Amino acid sequence: MSLFFTFKAPAPQKASVYALEWHNTLPLLAVSVGDFDMMGSVLIYGEEGEQVGSIDCQSTDDRFTSSETMAWHPSVKFLVTGWKDGGILTWDGSLTTPPEEVATTHKDKQVKVLRWNENGDKLLSADSQGGWTVWKYERKQLRQLQRSKDNFDGSLTHCTFRCRPGVRKDSADEQGDHRLLLEDEEEPGLDQAAAPAAAGFTVANFNAHCTWFVGGTSGTVWGVDDEGCTGLVFNVDNLPLVSLLYYPAKSGVIAMNQVCSVCFYCMRDDSKWFQQARFRVSLGKGAATASAQMSWIGNGLAATIAHENMVRVWMVDANDTYVLRPQTSVESIAAQDNILALAYNSQKRTLALGTRAGFILFYQYTGRETSVSEDDWSLYSEVRLDSMVSIVQWGPGDALLASAQTDTVTFLHGTSLHRCLHKNSVVVQLTADTLLYEDLGAKTALTTRISSVRVQGMALAGTHFAVWNAKQVELFRVRVYEIASVGVHNIENTGVALHADKLMVMRTEKGVSSIEMYNLQLQKLSNLSIKAHEGEACFMHVKGDFLVAATSKNYINCWWVGGRAGDERAHGYPKMLWEDEAAEKSRQIAAVAVNVNGSQVAVLSQASTAGNPAAQCSEVLLCNIEHDGIATYDFEQHGRLPTTILWDENEPRLLCCETKRTKRADDEDANAIEVFTLFCSTKGVKLQERFILKKGMTALVGISVPHFYIYQRETLPVVDPKETKTTNILQRVMRDFDGIDCSDIRVKEALLEFSYNLACGDMDAAYRSVKLIKDENVWTNMAQMCVKTGRLDVAEVCLGNMQDAKGAKFLREARKEPETDAHVAMLALQLGLVDDAERLYKKCQRHDLLNVMYQACGQWDKAIKLAEDEDRIHLRTIHYEYARHLESIGDFTAAVAQYEKAKCHGYEVPRMLYNAGRLEQLEQYANSSADRELLLWWAQFCESNTKYEQALHFYKEAGDTVSLVRLHCLLQDLDGAAHIVEKAKDAPAAAYHLAKQYEEAGKIRETLHFFRLAKAYKNAIRIARSNGMDAEVMQLSLQADPATIVESATWFEEHNSLDKAVVLYKKGGELGKAIDLCVRGELFDTLQKLADDLDKDTDPDVFIQCAEFFLSKNQNEKAVNMYVQAKSYTEALQVCLDRDVKLTEDMAEDMTLPKTDNEDDEALRLHLLRKIAKVAKLQESWHLACKKYTQAGDRVKGMKVLLKSGDTDKIIFFTNHSRQKDIYILAAHYLQTSDWHTNPTITKHIITFYTKARAYESLSGFYDAIAQVYIDEFRDYDKALVALQDSAKYMDKSKAQNRDLKMQQLEAKINFVEQFVEGRNMVKSDPTRMVEICKELLDVEDIEGAVRVGDVYALLVEFYTGRQEFENAYNYIERMRDGHIILSYYLEPALVQAVYKAMGIEYKEQEHAAQSHQAAPQQNLTDDVEDEIEEDIGPDD
């Protein structure tokens, strides 16, 4: 709780206060005052009301005027004041230098606006005639930078600054007034032509960088930038403005005029303004609209006051409002009091309201991050002054406020609530001058007033307590029924403490600090000195018999102060907390407290950084005096800052801390005080308990196991059988002691050990400490601790001692779940720790169990949200359960909505409303619903109540054709029912019901028709048979199921309608019966059609029966197919042979059995393949025979039959894929029979096949044949020689029996060819030798086998002819003729004629002689190859 001290700063007599202005960082307040004679001045006060300066307009000139606007520089001591006569005066903070007047452009025009920019380097001033000036600040001097050339319309009265640093624009001309029009398409009617755009500027650029927004009596808001450029933003109904605000979150400007019309304009991404909101504040009767004002009271919260008894709060982001109605302690005044002034402190989030009755009310914001209602504000203090409060304004920091009354200014200093606890005594400061003393043991409460001491601290020991400030100490003594002041002593000090009968005063003189010991009569007893290098003493605390002091250099000293005066001694050694130099400079001690046995000292600290004030640290330091160690506990993990530290009165390990928030959290208790208790020992610092001080609880006074002592403003009744008493001290039992009688010291000690061990997580030690205590609360606390430690084994013991059979049962059942956290969560639920259970279920991601928990706790919104996000499989179930819950509490409307979301409203909603007797609501719901299930329910309900017309209507709406037809039939309206069925098209059940009705009525045609629509063919056939309607029976049977079809076929067979019976037997799947009936009835055409439709699934006997039938009719090919389908392959092949049926490839494939691992089956398959191949060969189907021989594994036979086909390409393909020696040889032999000498590809294949088969003898012979071709066809003996050499090479590799003989023959042949080639090459080089070689060759017998004689003669003839030796040439020609050698084959006819002509002999054409000796080599080769192939092929079988 905060208390406020008030100091008045009286203004000059007969003067009124016009305005207040605090400096941002310094405790300086500027007050503008004046009298009725227009004599005004500005007074500067310090924080306690002392005047430190003034600005008097008369001191500079003989003018009589006053100031209503002032502006402190943001960071330095420099004040600017604006006066009614247009003057601007500055004060630089000096008491000797008079105020300085600045040359101004506002002469004779009242200065209405003064506003610094954020950096403090520029100032904007504006006057009552719309003129404005931008000033440059340099070294406490103002220099005019820009001024307006054309004034704005009306007086400028308000200005707001854009709260972000502007970006300076480049300008080509800085001497004029550049005026730009800000585009605003949503505000028609403005004089846009009045502001022509300057060259080099853009509207978007100006909008993005304008610094100030100004407005006034014309209702127009203008933007002004650092360069003096201006632009129109918007207008508010052309009425004077009363407030102008800037909203940084949305880059928006808010303006309110004198009739409380509000406009909110924001800037888009393209830097153009648009209207975000526009409305009018609704005020009550008697509101002073012209005096209304709007101010920020938080992030996105704007408050409006208009001299009413309420504050209207506008939530800008949500565009919603609520009303805050302040209440004072004097109810009679509160109802009629009006709020005149408002101020908001953003650091403490505190709202101060000044009222007409002289109250200042302080409200603390306690809501979540986003305010939603007046409940977010809590009244925590009020101060009543002696007159009306017209102005309130917060000063720098968070505890300084100034208020203006008619003729005076009041300073309010906030201070924390001072309180002390010593054993069973409590002292609390109620107000600035009132103290409360309570004896908790005797249940007595006394109050007293402080004489004149402004309380800065308090100390209590036994029946004495003292209050003190820096200069005075007042001592009090408590008697039975009164508190007596011992006296006020003027002692300069930095701290005071009490211990028994000793008063301890901490003083510093000439930089040296000491603690002086006095008795209660203020007689000095002794002195405790602090060394100079340790710094000045600044904090002191006493607990038990121990005293601790902290110094400015972060040293702590501890003494034992028990016993008589002079017996004091040091306890431990002086300790420096931060030995690191950087930490020492940035950290400062803020508070110290020693525990009851002097073993530990708790320390709070502050940290400061360059340019920033010191800020509270989130750590608590624990200095162990005995072990010389330091431990810490950081409250940042909880989002809190420690503000107060208190040790337990008796337990040295237990420390209590009050904390406040560090940052905004979305938590309703974020702004409340939260108390933490910590166990501090050698095992570390452990959190024991934490709780929030709820509304009404003001502050923690102290702690003494097992109670917390809390001060609250409202008194509490005290249970006393003798008299009625009240107290302001609430005794809150610690969690681990709740419900337990601690009057026995052993029980209390055991519970303390229990609590300590629980905090340390030592469950075994905790159990041992309380195992003999038979109190359910102890075990409950231990079980709750098990939730944190996860010790389920201990939890089961605790539940047993708690006799919680139900909880133990649920815990055992939960153990079936695989996640340990789920087990612990169930334990937490049984102990009522719902938040812990929720956390654990989320941790193990058991959203299903968490949802069950939400439902059990009635948190249906959470359950539904969780199901939508994480557990959609149970979403409809949750809606259903929620609907059942709503139904149970009678909320039928909400239950209907949930049943609809559960998708079961068709049944559940009628049931619910019917059971509740809400038939009218049910009928309305049915009429408005399109749900089929619901409509059906209501239709059935109407039908059951004989409301047939309504029933028909709802059956039709539900689309229930069956019920419509049934009800029409019930009403004997068969035609109407028939119309419905015909229109429905697909309504078999309705058609069946109607058909039965027609059957009962004896209408056969209609019966058959609707049975057919219902697809009830059996019933229709039954009716048709009984009425002799054979055609209808046949037609219906074809649409029926197989069993009905066969039944009808039997019926037709019995009635000798064999053709119809056959068709139906076939349709019904009884092919055997159909074929048998065809045979018996000699229905050959029908049987042939049946055979065409047979498939592989047909019984083989049926196929055989058909085959025999087709054989009897000479349908041999169909008979073969039937045998094949019956898998009688031998019979099929025999028919092919006997009746000359061509075996097709499809037949062969159908007769080919699949491969199998069974040896017998595989042997059968191969035998069948050979039979198929043999039949194919006999039918000269060479390719098919080859394929089947190949499939049978006999590729050689396959090759042999393929050779007979003469298909060279397939032979080559088959050879390459077979890769067998015999097949290579057969293929090569075959290819030699083809025209290989004209096809190089075939030649290549022959060589390749012989090579792969390693048939070198055959390959040698082939090369010999190639040589012969070169000689016979091309007379190319060079190539022939190469071929003969290759032939010899491969003959040498062969293993033939006559290899040597053949090699001799080849070598001789090669020799002759080489001679001939050599001789032919010597025609020019050595003709004589050539002639000799030729003659030698002609003399060789059987030379024709190697070199053709004709070629030798031709060489000689050509040689002699070329040499003009015609006679020799003629002789050789004649020898050729004698040898029957055809001349034209070897010699050109022209050459022969030339020789004869040269000889003078007439040439006669030679008769065509046989050329057997010339063609013999090639013909003999071909014959030999064919003989060899025939020999290799041999017989197939």
375: how many CB neighbours lie within 10 A of its CB? 12
Distance CA 1296, CA 1285 (A): 18
Give the confidence band of 744 by pLDDT, cuts at 50, 70, 90.
confident
Using CB atoms within 10 A of its CB, is residue 526 exposed (0-12), middle (13-18) or buried (19+)? middle
Mean pLDDT of 1089-1115: 67
Place of tokens 């209050």: 467
DSSP code of residue 875: H
pTM of the entire structure? 0.53
pLDDT of residue 601: 96
pLDDT single digits (tens) 1272-1321: 888 888 888 888 888 888 888 888 778 888 888 888 888 888 888 888 88
Mean pLDDT of 20-33: 91
Token representation of residue 1210: 């397939």
Give the confidence band of 194 by pLDDT, cuts at 50, 70, 90.
very low
Give the confidence band of 467 by pLDDT, cuts at 50, 70, 90.
very high
Distance CA 1316, CA 1322 (A): 10
DSSP code of residue 299: T
Predicted confidence (pLDDT) at residue 1423 exceeds the cutoff of 50: no
Amino acid at 724: T
pLDDT single digits (tens) 877-920: 989 999 899 888 888 888 888 888 888 887 888 888 888 888 87
Token representation of residue 667: 């938590």
Phi, psi of 1161 (to 5 degrees): -65, -35
Which residues are 246's β-sheet partners? 253
Distance CA 140, CA 516 (A): 48
Distance CA 358, CA 384 (A): 6
Average pLDDT of the chain is 81
pLDDT single digits (tens) 1045-1101: 888 777 877 777 777 777 777 777 776 677 777 766 666 566 666 666 666 666 676
Phi, psi of 759 (to 5 degrees): -60, -35
Mean pLDDT of 1230-1236: 81
Edge-to-edge strands, sheet with 122-127: 111-116, 122-127, 132-138, 141-147
Cβ contact 1230:1263 at 8 Å: no
pLDDT single digits (tens) 288-299: 777 888 999 988
More confident residue, 636 or 608: 636
Cβ contact 129:153 at 8 Å: no
Edge-to-edge strands, sheet with 241-247: 241-247, 252-257, 261-267, 273-280
Mean pLDDT of 121-144: 89
Phi, psi of 1304 (to 5 degrees): -60, -45
Distance CA 693, CA 683 (A): 29
Q: Which helix (H) or strand (E) holds 1054?
A: helix 1042-1054
Mean pLDDT of 14-39: 83
Judge if the upstream peptide bond of residue 706 is cis by omega within 30 degrees of 0.
yes
Give the confidence band of 550 by pLDDT, cuts at 50, 70, 90.
very high
Q: Which helix (H) or strand (E) holds 354?
A: strand 350-355
Mean pLDDT of 394-422: 86
Token representation of residue 1094: 């047979």
Where residue 352 falls (left for φ over 0; alpha for ψ -120 to 50; beta otherwise) is beta
| 895-902 contacts, C-beta under 8 A, 24 or more apart | 896/925, 901/876, 902/876, 902/877
Phi, psi of 986 (to 5 degrees): -120, 80
Range from 131-140, 943-952, 1428-1437 carrying the lowest mean pLDDT? 1428-1437
| 583-589 contacts, C-beta under 8 A, 24 or more apart | 584/553, 584/554, 587/554, 587/617, 588/552, 588/554, 588/614, 589/538, 589/539, 589/550, 589/551, 589/554, 589/556
Distance CA 701, CA 38 (A): 54
Mean pLDDT of 706-714: 87
Distance CA 505, CA 497 (A): 7
Sign of the CA dihedral running 664, 666, 669, 674: negative
DSSP code of residue 608: -
pLDDT of residue 264: 93
Place of tokens 């619903």: 929
pLDDT single digits (tens) 1015-1040: 888 888 888 887 878 788 787 877 88
Distance CA 1100, CA 1154 (A): 18
Predicted confidence (pLDDT) at residue 870 exceeds the cutoff of 70: yes
Cα angle value 1104/1107/1110 (rounded, 5°): 155
Cβ contact 1225:1249 at 8 Å: yes
Distance CA 1058, CA 2 (A): 115
Cβ contact 1148:1189 at 8 Å: no
Predicted confidence (pLDDT) at residue 1405 exceeds the cutoff of 90: no
pLDDT of residue 1088: 61
pLDDT of residue 57: 65
Range from 199-203, 302-306, 564-568, 1410-1414 carrying the lowest mean pLDDT? 1410-1414
Place of tokens 């308000």: 158
Phi, psi of 630 (to 5 degrees): -130, 130
- Distance linking the first and last C-alpha atoms of the chain: 123
Sign of the CA dihedral running 1169, 1175, 1176, 1182: positive
Phi, psi of 146 (to 5 degrees): -145, 150
Cβ contact 649:706 at 8 Å: no
Q: For helices 1182-1191 and 1159-1178, what crossing angle results, to 10°?
A: 170
Range from 30-39, 1303-1312, 1321-1330 carrying the lowest mean pLDDT? 30-39
- Of the chain, the percentage scoring pLDDT greater than 70 comes to 87
Pairing of strands 179-181, 230-235: parallel
Q: Which of 680, 662, 658 is nearest to 670 (CA)?
A: 662
Cα angle value 464/466/471 (rounded, 5°): 155
HSE-CB at 352 with a 13 A cutoff on CA atoms is: 28
- Find all residues with CB under 8 Å of 919, minimum gap 6, and list them: 913
- The stretches of 1152-1239 forming alpha helices (DSSP H) are 1159-1178, 1182-1191, 1195-1203, 1208-1218, 1221-1232
Mean pLDDT of 1186-1214: 83
Distance CA 1429, CA 1107 (A): 43
Q: Which of 502, 607, 609 is nearest to 545 (CA)?
A: 502
Q: Which of 332, 313, 311, 310 is nearest to 322 (CA)?
A: 313
Give the confidence band of 719 by pLDDT, cuts at 50, 70, 90.
low
Cα angle value 1403/1407/1410 (rounded, 5°): 140
